[in-house]
Structure 1
Amino acid sequence: MVATTQVHGRTTAIPGLHVFSVSKVGDDRGWFQEKFHRAKLLDAGLPESFRVVQTSVAFNKRGSTRGFHAEPWAKYISLVDGSAFGAYLDVRAGATFGSVVTVELTDETAVYVPAGVANSYQCLTDLHYLYSVDEHWSAAAYESATFVNLADPDAAVEWPIPLEEALLSDRDRSHPMLAKLP
């Protein structure tokens, strides 16, 4: 029998937010991994409605911290290498508004983030961050997103690298607090 990537999923306290373990298969030469295998992911909990239209990769330096961004599209996130701390904040109206889920991200972890859930991450090493979305990126769509300050006291995320020592964009530093959202 040929060894192949195994995928297992779990639900979280935020409805629709799924965390997947995606194994690697290796030998003395190196390793192989199916980063996105639709059939296996569907069996593990990926919503049938998620259809990838764009995949992007970002290189981030250790300490880089991005977010909270709740874009109007769903996304599937994984790391090519390195490790990160992911924090997800539900900004959708309803009983779970303000709920936070944190996940340790490695090259064997993936996260499905539904539209309306804010995504953020802090790089614990230099890394390549791979993400696939179900809508094409556009400046207009991005500007319609909901943004929340990474230091929001209501979200109360305990960042592994204190935000004062992390690398943040001026824009991410200036996002509003959760209580100020319309």
Structure 2
Amino acid sequence: MKATPLAIPDVILVEPKVFGDDRGYFFESFNQAKFEDAIGKSVQFVQDNHSRSAKHVLRGLHYQIQQPQGKLVRVVQGEVFDVAVDLRKSSKTFGNWVGEMLSAENKRQLWIPEGFAHGFVVLSEVAEFLYKTTDYYAPAHERCILWCEETIAIQWPSGIKPILSAKDVQGKLFGDAEVFV
């Protein structure tokens, strides 16, 4: 496995070693010991989630103000542009974002630690998105920042007319959002 810190070094692009031939391919999608060695800390995952979304569905920017979730995300069908926004007020990269293309074809994964908002937009006709979390879903503590928030200025892929949930339409502006100390 290859682990590459991104512009926000705590967010790590994970690329598995893929073994393939004319029959297909095999790769280890998760190995606890290798993953912890790659990110440099111990992590315990407690929940796996699986979503399926149509083209231009945009989910996010979600986070939990209590019971924050670290997420290891990947795509098993289709392609998405995946984004993490640093909400840790004490961080040098507070308010900054990073984004990566994740697809079934490239098999890349993204480690997004606790303290980040997360979102993605589907670029293919459909995408199936899997992710592991370090804490349980807690709807009472879930928060959402507006996907097109000008202060953050995420550069989403062009030509997207996002399809949003009612919750995501009502996301907060960055200045009004609860953040981590």
Smaller-chain TM-score bracket? 0.7 to 0.9
Deviation at 1:39, TM superposition (A): 2.3
> Counterpart of 1:134 in structure 2: which amino acid?
T
How far residue 16 of structure 1 moved from its aligned partner, in angstroms, is 2.1
Q: What is the Cα deviation at residue 74 of structure 1?
A: 0.9
Matching residue within 51, 58, 70 for 2:63: 70
Number of the residue aligned with 1:119: 118
CA distance in 1, matches of 2:171, 2:28: 36
Determine if the alignment matches structure 1 residue 32 to structure 2 residue 26: yes
Is the CA contact 2:36–2:43 (under 8 Å) kept in the aligned structure 1?
A: no
User: How far apart are the structure 2 equivalents of 1:146 and 1:93?
Assistant: 16
SS of equivalent residue, structure 2 residue 167: helix
Aligned: 1:61 with 2:54: yes
Q: Does 1:98 align with 2:89?
A: no
Please show how residues 143-154 of structure 1 align to structure 2 within 5 Å. 143-154=140-151
3-state secondary structure, aligned to 1:119 = strand
1:131-146 pair list within 5 angstroms: 131-137=131-137, 141-146=138-143
RMSD of Structure 2 on Structure 1 (CA): 1.7
Partner residue, 1:167: 163
Does residue 22 of the first structure (1) align with residue 16 of the second (2)?
Answer: yes
Counterparts of 1:127 and 1:22, CA distance in 2: 20
3-state DSSP of counterpart to 1:55: strand
SS at match of 1:44: helix
Q: TM-score, normalised by structure 2?
A: 0.86
Question: Aligned pairs, how many?
Answer: 171
| Pairwise CA distance, 1:15 | 4.5
Structure 1 gaps of 5+ residues are: 1-6
CA–CA separation in structure 2 for the residues paired with 1:161 and 1:145: 28
Distance, in Å, in 2 between the alignment partners of 1:64 and 1:91 is 23
2:78 alignment counterpart? 82
State the one-letter code of the partner of 1:151. Answer: C
CA distance 1:162–1:92, shift in 2 (3 Å): farther
